[in-house]
Structures are given as structure tokens and as C-alpha cells.
Amino acid sequence: MRCKGWSSPSTLVCSAAAALVFAAPAGAHLSVNPDTVRTGALVDLVFSVPNAADPTGIDHVTISAPPGFVLDDGEAVAGWTQSRAGQTLTWKAGNIPPRQYTRFGIRGTAPPAAGTVLFNVLVGDRTGRSITYRVGLDVVAHAPRDDGARSLGKAALAVAVVGAGLALAALFVALYVWLRPPPP
């Protein structure tokens, strides 16, 4: 949008409209999963970072954890190098081509108090352009306890225990049939 040469109020309105037109579509697709966690819970969060249309490609992503969130570590992403400084993880030297996205995972402990916390997610390209998104995470006192890989691990364990129990029951039935005396 061209706003130059307009009156001050018109320039302000034009600039705000341009910010909404150009920033909202990209920000609308940057997401965190899950978007709701339980207070004080160990969580695995996955940020889906898109490249809506940057022809040079996205080559660095920085995720800064909010106060109260205890950052443990970040997931390695193939083709990217990772570094950490305090509550901030940075992935560099990768590439998100136009109209593609990449997932960046972090692990940590949710804040002890309920509310919405905001992660700062800086996304930049090779030309030095970058934009920072503020991605909300709802922290609630009563939410599902498990999400993601931890739930799948517990489900697999439960299936294995049930399967072992059924196998043991089948063994006892087979032994009973084999060891019982023949009918008269």
C-alpha cells in the first residue's frame, strides 16, 4: 500500500490497514499445538512456522519462552542448527521454501498460574527481513493431563499390558486343557 503524501490521520489509517493486510495472513497460520495446557504440567509444544510467500525462503526461527514457562530443550530439526541462550531457542541455516512450513518443537514446564502466556516467535529470511509473532498459549487449572508423545507412550504401555494379560490367560487355558484328565 502506498501511504506517502497523505495527511497524518490518513497515513495512520493506511499504515494500520497495510499492517493488517500484510501481517495477518502470515500470523494467522503460525500456530502452537496444543494451544491449551495444564498449570505446572510437563509439555511438548510444536510451533508450525509457515512461509506464506517469501521467495528467498525462511532461514532462521527464534522462539522465546514467556516468564513462568520453564524451557527444558528444543527438538532437533533436520537441516537446521540449533542454539540456546537462556529461555530462547534459535534454529538457523535451514530453509522453509515459499508455501511450505516447518515444525519446531520445544519441551518445558507450563507456568504455575492459569492465564494466557505469549511466546515471541521471530521468523527471518536471508535478506535480513524478520517479523516477530506473539503466539498465545492458554494455561488452565483443569485441562487434559497428557498431550502428544507422552499420551501415545502411555497408551502403548496400556495396550502392551492388556496384550500380555490376554496372552497369559490364553496360556492358562491351554495348560488347563492339556493337563486335565480325559473324560471317563
Q: Give every strand in the sheet of 88-96, ordered side by side.
A: 36-38, 130-140, 115-125, 58-64, 88-96, 81-85
pTM: 0.63
C-alpha cell at position 84: 540456546
Name the fold adopted by 29-140.
Immunoglobulin-like (2.60.40)
Segment 88-109, tens digit of pLDDT? 999 999 999 999 999 999 999 9
Segment 128-181, tens digit of pLDDT? 899 999 999 999 997 555 555 555 566 667 777 777 777 777 777 777 777 777
User: Which pLDDT score, from 0 to 100, does residue 149 have?
Assistant: 55
User: Which pLDDT score, from 0 to 100, does residue 112 have?
Assistant: 95
User: Which pLDDT score, from 0 to 100, does residue 2 have?
Assistant: 43
Query: First CA to last CA across the chain, in angstroms?
Result: 98
Segment 56-67, tens digit of pLDDT? 899 999 999 999
